[in-house]
Amino acid sequence: MYIDYSAIGQRIKKIRKQKNLTQEKLAESLEVSTVYISQVENGKTKLNLEMLIRIASLLNTDPGYFITGVSYSSKDYLKSDIAQFLQDFSLEQRQLIIDIAKLINKYK
pLDDT tens per residue across span 16-62: 999 999 999 999 999 999 999 999 999 999 999 999 999 999 999 98
The answer to whether 98 touches 105, Cβ cutoff 8 Å, is no
For 95, phi then psi, to 5°, come to -65, -40
- Residue 90: give the domain boundaries: 78-108
**Is the domain of 98 the same as that of 54?**
no
> How far, in Å, CA of 16 to CA of 92, rounded?
43
Number of domains in the chain: 2
Q: Given this model, what pLDDT does residue 86 score? A: 82
**Residues 6 or more apart whose Cβ sits within 8 Å of residue 70:** 64, 77, 81
Instruction: Kindly state whether residues 50 and 16 are assigned to the same domain.
Output: yes
The predicted-structure confidence for 82-93, as pLDDT tens digits, reads as follows 777 788 888 899
Say how far apart CA 63 and CA 81 lie, in whole Å: 19
- Count, residues in the chain: 108
Say if residue 28 is in the same domain as residue 48. Answer: yes
Kindly report the pTM of this predicted structure.
0.68
Find the CATH number of the domain harbouring 40. 1.10.260.40
